[in-house]
Amino acid sequence: MSRPEIVRARAPLRLGLAGGGTDVSPYCDIYGGQVVNATIARYAYAELAPGEDNACLLRSLDQGCSMRLAGPEPAQAVPALVLHQAVYRHMIERYHGGKPLALTFSTRSDAPAGSGLGSSSTMVVAMIHAFSVYLALNLGAHEIAELAFHIERVVCGLQGGRQDQFAAAYGGFNFMTFPSGGGADIAPLDVPVALTRELASSLILCYTGMSRASAQIINDQSENIRQGASAALEATHALKLEAASMRHCLLAGDMQGIVASMQTGWENKKKLARSVSNTHIDAMYAAALQAGALAGKVSGAGGGGFMMFLAPAGRRAMVGRALADMGGQVSRCRFDEAGSTAWRVGAGVSDDALQAAPA
């Protein structure tokens, strides 16, 4: 089979707008979950380039590490490359008859690990999409997302929710439901253009300066549900209802309703587990509101990573300064509507271009 010299892919990171936590087991297995999210113009990138000697060289350009896989023999584990290895093994076993591929398999991301933007799952989606084009598999968005979930959550046993893979694969604003019987239903939201522009001009992203181990936070949350902790369970039910409210507000162009939904969602999110927030996050939140922000929350599981705030245009600068004074790294937000994409690159283009690819 004739293959391109190089295949590149990128998948967008996401903001969890409402319902985050209801897509995590065991809650969604018992009650079903629903979330609203939106993808942003920050990406995870993957690249497949020609290799040598029927071996695959795995590289994380962010982490500055690499490992070589040759044949079926087990390789010494490199923690930062666990997902790379799992994706490569799964794709050749399922779609290439178990035969090794001579590749250099590289990745990078616009967000640090533990960002709360779904970076790990988004990276897996980009990896799979690159293999889909390289092996001419023509996998659809839902297939890519389901395969990414299987590799990350089942094969690698990494804890997390169900929304990130589907957000990265589909892109845009989505209302997602996860029935108790399994599966995922993805409903793209036709948000009015004027509202997306207003949201983009109002949103402030702030990296708290703290990475976090989302697995432990999710474990705490899941354990509270297993033990029937009433406060956590009631809060998760409320978050599920809030996703429906956020969906309605987005479709109706109701900015005031979005602000109220985000305020309520954050208060309930903090009740899922004590590790969701901490004194530094609480202080940053208070400082942002005092400077004029209308609402805010942590994106993802909590404990650190990125926070998002909504602020009137005239207060953005003051909110940004208040967050920067507390060590936050502030940036604007643009939305991405395209979802994961992959493309072939002609011969003669160096794979080192991946490292310098524009965000």
Secondary structure of the chain in HEC code, one letter for each residue: CCCCCEEEEEEEEEEEEECCCCCCCCHHHHHCEEEEEEEEEEEEEEEEEECCCCEEEEEECCCCEEEEEECCCCCCCCHHHHHHHHHHHHHHHHHCCCCCCCEEEEEEECCCCCCCCCHHHHHHHHHHHHHHHHCCCCCCHHHHHHHHHHHHHHHCCCCCCCHHHHHHHHCCEEEEEECCCCCCEEEECCCCHHHHHHHHHHEEEEECCCCCCHHHHHHHHHHHHHCCCHHHHHHHHHHHHHHHHHHHHHHHCCHHHHHHHHHHHHHHHCCCCHHHCCHHHHHHHHHHHHHCCCEEEECCCCCCCEEEEECCHHHHHHHHHHHHHCCCEEECCCECCCCCEEEEECCCCCHHHHHHCCC
CA distance 246 to 217: 24
Catalytic, 164? Answer yes
Q: Which residue has the tokens 């065991």?
A: 26
- Measured CA to CA, the distance from residue 6 to residue 344 in angstroms comes to 6
Catalytic residue among 23, 164, 336, 351: 164
Measure the CA–CA gap between 67 and 223, rounded to whole angstroms.
35
- CA gap 315, 288 in Å, rounded: 10
Asked whether 264 and 238 are in contact (CB, 8 A), the reply is: yes
Residue among 39, 20, 36 at smallest CA distance from 176 = 36
List active site positions.
164
